[in-house]
Structure 1
Amino acid sequence: MSGPFDTVVVVDWSAASAPSPARPSRDAIWIGAAGAGGETVGYYRTRAAAEAALRRFLAGEQAAGRRVLAGFDFALGYPAGFAARLTGQASARAVWAWMAAQITDGPDNRNDRFQVADAVNRRFGGAGPFWGRPASLALTALPATKAVDYAALGLPERRAVECRVPRAQPVWKLYTTGSVGSQVLMGLPLVHRLAQGAAVAVWPFDEPQKVASASVVLAEIYPSLLARVVALQDGIKDAAQVRLLSRALWRLAQAGQLDALFALPDAAAAEEGWILGAGHEAALLAALEQV
């Protein structure tokens, strides 16, 4: 279903509110790519710089006639029911467009993600679903700690794929250790913009035929699927995981073994999205063992 890929790109995103250090550091933006010409890993201090570099790379690959799989390490959808209540449409794309229109993200990484999350919570009656913020921000509808009753709110706390991959954090958590929600808020506008490009498909939200034929396919990935191997690497973890995951996916692509990863085991994925490779950790690890 996926069709062959010539190049794989893995993007480790960041929701930082200021430029990352000039010296390559953890918890910043790292982009790894693997292809017939070898592997590259790049470090970016701002989202604007990373997006510009990614656009140049994708355009170059398309111009050269190479097909690209681009993976992003943040959720591309929210738990079922959120999209319809926020936008009136049970569509992840509607949420991307809404976030792109509401979130301000400056060239120096300054952004208003917590204020936008507070506004979303107000639309839901002020009781969630988002939580987590710096204590210095007085946002009354956005609790600093988890104080959300998801059953009462009528929304799942986790997406179906996060139930299959329990170590993945819920998308509602925006702050403190392990949070991923801020990366989602700051990443969805990027996906919205990239998805407007010619011959770009987003898995699993587009029809299988489009995914199979598009010159660029965007997907959600989770580098921690390779945590056991990443932990053995020297240097910065972020750099290691984008390098290893892009390598594993590229090797599976060359071996014609990606179709299994594109199979969807849960109907909720049509709205919520899915992690490419979830449930296929053994195949990813085996690909890394190839000489």
Structure 2
Amino acid sequence: MTYDSFVMVDWSGGNDRGAKPTSDAIWVGISRGDTSENPMYFRNRQVFAIWARGFIETELAAGRTAMIGFDFPFGYPTGFGQHLTGTNDPLAIWDWFADRVEDTPKANNRFDLAGQINATLPGIGPFWGNGLGRDIDHLPRKGLARTQNPFPERRAVEHLAKGAFTCWQLSGAGAVGSQIIMGLPVLQKLRLAFPDQINVWPFENLTAPISFVEIWPTLFAGQGPDHIIKDAHQVMATAHHLAQRTVTQLHADLHISAPVEGWILGVRDPHL
């Protein structure tokens, strides 16, 4: 598969960030060959979802292929999916969250859902990091308050990507747990809106014109200039970097041996 467009998305699991561009919000960078567009800011997931549908429609109508990267894990450590959905199909987790997540610009139920999942397991855990003012049954505020995690603390790829955060942490600087819960439903709804037009790496063969991949912009970009918001800089740097990769280099990045948990594009699999 070759790609005409590279679209990189810095995600947010929180609430509406306001009209003025800011950090810790949704940012999108697009590169096509040697051409890059200015980074785009989205104040909430609802606005982004509308834009994403329109963008995919435009790409398909123009006969272009696109790699769209999102900076949150697409899967969980081994065993979690089987417990949650009764199957090891990682896309069943996407469907599970899409059916249960309630999301508005001002509020969502991600912490309550995490507590409900914890309640189905022995002990306290694996999710932690209640970021709300009210207490939530079965969801501790601190990781040390957990008494048991029946699943690995990290995915295989996170042992290789030093500095990557665990899927179980929902709040705090750098945490990605909330981004997963609030991101997978958006991606699942896009998949359903464009049947047979979107493939998800590494869970599916990339034969459709649109590919969703997991990214970690830290791999490709530093802080950037002081006058540019870090998130905006990183999505542009990542999109530009991937657009400059040769077909051989990109295929090597996509070739991994442990697909069920998901994988970060650009982290080489030591087993291959």
| TM-score, structure 1 as length reference | 0.86
Query: More helix per residue: 1 or 2?
Result: 1
Residues 149-160 of structure 1 correspond to what in structure 2 (within 5 A)?
Answer: 149=147, 152-160=148-156
Q: Distance in 1 between matches of 2:132 and 2:13?
A: 17
Q: Is the 8 A contact 1:47 1:109 kept in 2?
A: no
Q: Distance in 1 between matches of 2:158 and 2:249?
A: 24
> Shift in Å at residue 195 of structure 1?
2.1
String of CA shifts for 1:69-105, please: whole Å, max 9, x gaps.
0000000000000000011011211111111111100
User: Where does residue 273 of structure 1 map in the other structure?
Assistant: 262
Any gaps of 5 or more consecutive residues in structure 1? 281-291
Which one of 106, 130, 138 corresponds to residue 127 of structure 2?
130
Q: Distance in 1 between matches of 2:248 and 2:5?
A: 13
* Secondary structure in 2 matching 1:51: helix
Q: Is the 8 A contact 2:66 2:209 kept in 1?
A: yes
- % of aligned pairs identical? 38
Give the residue type in structure 2 aligned to 1:100.
Answer: A
Give the residue type in structure 2 aligned to 1:187.
Answer: G
Counterparts in 2 of 1:171 and 1:67: CA distance versus 1, 3 Å: same
User: Where does residue 179 of structure 2 map in the other structure?
Assistant: 183
2:17 is the alignment partner of 1:28: no
Aligned length: 265
Q: Distance in 1 between matches of 2:132 and 2:74?
A: 28
**Runs of 4 or more above 2 Å deviation:** 230-234
Residues 164-183 of structure 1 correspond to what in structure 2 (within 5 A)?
Answer: 164-183=160-179
Q: Distance in 1 between matches of 2:52 and 2:89?
A: 25
Q: Is the 8 A contact 1:34 1:250 kept in 2?
A: yes
Counterparts in 2 of 1:10 and 1:104: CA distance versus 1, 3 Å: same
| TM-score, structure 2 as length reference | 0.92
Q: Distance in 2 between matches of 1:135 and 1:188?
A: 21
Across the aligned residues of Structure 1 and Structure 2, the Cα RMSD in angstroms comes to: 1.7
> Shift in Å at residue 221 of structure 1?
0.4
Any gaps of 5 or more consecutive residues in structure 2? none
Q: Is the 8 A contact 1:75 1:273 kept in 2?
A: yes
Q: Distance in 1 between matches of 2:158 and 2:79?
A: 16
Which one of 253, 256, 263 corresponds to residue 261 of structure 1?
253
Residues 181-220 of structure 1 correspond to what in structure 2 (within 5 A)?
Answer: 181-196=177-192, 197-198=194-195, 199-206=197-204, 208=205, 211=206, 213-220=207-214
User: Where does residue 110 of structure 1 map in the other structure?
Assistant: 107
Q: Is the 8 A contact 1:126 1:142 kept in 2?
A: no
User: Where does residue 252 of structure 1 map in the other structure?
Assistant: 245
* Secondary structure in 1 matching 2:186: helix
String of CA shifts for 1:205-239, please: whole Å, max 9, x gaps.
01x3xx0x2100001000011243x4456410000
Q: Distance in 1 between matches of 2:18 and 2:267?
A: 32
Counterparts in 2 of 1:70 and 1:233: CA distance versus 1, 3 Å: farther
User: Where does residue 235 of structure 2 map in the other structure?
Assistant: 242
Counterparts in 2 of 1:140 and 1:279: CA distance versus 1, 3 Å: same
